Amino acid sequence: MFYDYVKIFVKGGDGGNGVVTFRREKYVPLGGPSGGDGGKGADVIFVADESLTTLVDFKYRQHYKAQRGENGMRKNMHGKNGEPLVVKVPVGTLVRDAESGELLADIVEKNQRVVVAHGGRGGRGNARFQSARNRAPEIAEKGEPGEERWLRLELKLLADAALVGLPNAGKSTIISKVSGSRPKIADYPFTTLHPNLGVVNLEPGMSFVLADIPGLIEGAAEGVGLGHRFFASCGAFTSAAACGGHERFG
């Protein structure tokens, strides 16, 4: 199955907490504060990978939480920063905020990196609060929470031609006969819910990519049936002719 649309949850790591400690050395009876800072929480980072062609992996894992920073330690030792959580996505992935629909990133180049959830800042230890008036502060900060949000990922389809027609008209059957694609085929409308891609080999060295997209019915422009999903698929093709004829339904 070819997946072009998924919704996932991402969360940056929480910052580590600062700590309250004091020097306790034999010959330093009035030792000052020595609490270290907490480490920074890790970011969630999307990286474009040319070897990926679908979003299918996100159907099985939808929550991505980065590592939190370590807490501060005594003797002014700071906590370790969290290790970034790197998530590979296909080239051509659009990243949107799931609630507002705002476009956050258009991943179009190999190895392109996009931070989609920032980790929280680590809290300061009590050594940071020492002053002339307060030489023994007993306060420290908690780490800030990491950024969290729901994202909508959309994969721009790369195809040379598309099959357009009413539901249950035989589009999936055609692509299964002319290519190696094996879409679900059944005798009821809207069997195809996601675009399917297939490579059609004409002769040695000559081939093209054919797309089977969800069926189109009257009223699709208003969202009837799978209308909105259909037009989203159309928008990914470079040629307007690939979705020709839809104006009469608008």
DSSP 178-230: HSS------SSTT---S-EEEEEEEETTEEEEEEE-----TTGGGT-TTHHHH
Rounded distance between C-alpha atoms, residue 189 and residue 172, angstroms:
12
Is the pTM higher than 0.75? Answer: no
Rounded distance between C-alpha atoms, residue 238 and residue 224, angstroms:
25
pLDDT value at residue 162: 76
Q: 93, 154 in Cβ contact below 8 A?
A: yes
pLDDT value at residue 51: 85
The top-level CATH class assigned to 161-249 is alpha beta
pLDDT value at residue 2: 52
Domain borders along the chain are 5-155, 161-249
3-state secondary structure of 57: helix
Q: Which residues pair with 97 in a beta bridge?
A: 151
Q: 83, 65 in Cβ contact below 8 A?
A: no
Q: Please report which confidence band the pLDDT of residue 28 belongs to, taking 50, 70 and 90 as the band edges.
A: low
pLDDT value at residue 113: 96
| Assigned fold of 5-155 | Spo0b-associated Gtp-binding Protein; Chain: A, (2.70.210)
Map tokens 């990978």 to a residue: 49
Rounded distance between C-alpha atoms, residue 151 and residue 230, angstroms:
20
206-212 and 161-163: which strand pairing?
parallel
- pLDDT, one tens digit per residue, over 195-245 is 677 777 777 767 777 777 776 555 545 544 444 454 454 544 433 333 443
Single-letter amino acid code for the residue at 47? V
Map tokens 């027609």 to a residue: 165
Single-letter amino acid code for the residue at 43? D
Residue of 204, 202, 210 lying closest to 174 (CA atoms)? 210
- pLDDT, one tens digit per residue, over 30-76 is 678 999 999 999 999 999 998 887 788 898 899 999 999 999 998 99
Single-letter amino acid code for the residue at 120? G
Q: 210, 171 in Cβ contact below 8 A?
A: no
